[in-house]
Copies of this chain bind each other. A is one copy, B any other.
Amino acid sequence: MKIKVTIKDVAKRSGVSISTVSRVLNNSKPVSPEIRQRVLEAIRETGYRPNLLARGLVLRKTNIIGIIVPDISNAYYSELVKGTEEISNMYNYSILLCNTYGELKKEMEYLNLLTEKQVDGIIFMTTNLTEEHVRWFKENDVKSVFVNRHIEGMDIPYVSIDNYNAAYDATNYLIELGHEKIAYIGGPLSDEILGMKRFEGYKQALYDAGIDFRQELVRVSKIGIKSGYEAMGDILDVHKDITAVFAANDIMAIGAVNCILDRGYKIPQDISVVGFDDIPFASIIRPALTTIRQPIYDIGAVAARMLIKKLNGEKLDEISVNLPYQLIERDTSAKAKKRRK
């Protein structure tokens, strides 16, 4: 057990008072360059490490940002957290990671826990924003930034892409390739942004092209590769003549691709698939997935930057940031050809 070096030891060695050492550490009041030099040397020599926990008490600052994610093992979120972590670190903040499996109970527990831990701010992600969340954020004065979510009437900044237009563009791309019988696979519609907005974009694109919307070509369920596989199977059981699928997230798109191949159809010759997100694996699977590219890393980075600006009392240029998206054409999409019914 090493003996803990304290601020007293530093003061003694540098021949100044404790409060002078404190000034140097906290940049709280001016100190002459010569004294500063002496104190810094004494810190190095003694190996003194300021107790940030205690300092946090005084400054009411922990330099910790809490981040709440549905599933860190989902490639979308791990890429996003990487962006958050990198920017936070650059500004001397650390990341307290909270994994919720999208469960409301865990989300609420973590919100309370992070407040108790006195984190400086929270980056919040959920797949289902409820009244309970809204109430919590209204009742608790915690600096926060949302990702892909927004509470109407509250000035909590959020970062996202335009999910409605992106889904519209993805569907319209398939329509322009000549597809008409286009299935939709996606997450729950209770998820306003990742579910409903994308679903609405899909419907509107069909409508604008004069194609009838058919509920039986739609399957929504919990996001997962397996659920994407099963949703695709359900549709193919009945509708063997679909020529395209818009899967509103890459995870489910990859499940759908596997299901289509396992049933002996060719991609893209028989059925085209367009995903959404461009997770790292979208370009790695074969055939490589045509998809909507979200700047996932950037979303995490911008969320962190906005929160840190808030923490520093800087003015945000805008409360909401929609980052640009892009359709990436790869090997799962092609012109429609007539197929057997």
Binding site for B on A (CB under 8 A): 1-2, 47, 49-54, 56-57, 62-64, 71-73, 75, 78-79, 81-82, 85-86, 89, 94-99, 112-113, 115-118, 139-141, 225, 254, 258, 261, 280-281, 284-286
Contacts and interface: CB of A to CB of B under 8 A. Distances in A.
B53 A62 contact: yes
A96 B118 CA distance: 14
Contacts of A95: 96-98
B64 A72 contact: no
Contacts of A96: 64, 94-97
Nearest to A257: B286
4 nearest A-B pairs in the assembled complex, by CB-CB distance: A78-B78, A97-B97, A53-B118, A73-B82
Given A53-B56, A72-B78, A285-B285, 12 more contacts: A2-B141, A49-B116, A50-B116, A52-B118, A53-B118, A64-B96, A73-B81, A73-B280, A81-B97, A94-B113, A96-B96, A261-B286
A93 to B, nearest CB: 10
Contacts of A73: 75, 78-79, 81-82, 280
Nearest to A55: B116
A6 to B, nearest CB: 13
A112 B47 CA distance: 11
Contact of A82 (B51, B99, B139, B286): B99
Contacts of A56: 53
Contacts of A53: 53, 56-57, 62, 117-118
B94 A51 contact: no
Nearest to A296: B73
A96 to B, nearest CB: 5
Nearest to A74: B78
Contacts of A85: 72, 97-99
A186 B319 CA distance: 46
A139 to B, nearest CB: 8
A254 B284 contact: yes
22 contacts: A1-B141, A2-B141, A47-B139, A49-B112, A49-B115, A51-B118, A53-B53, A53-B56, A53-B57, A53-B117, A71-B82, A72-B78, A72-B85, A85-B98, A85-B99, A94-B96, A94-B117, A95-B98, A97-B97, A258-B286, A281-B281, A285-B285
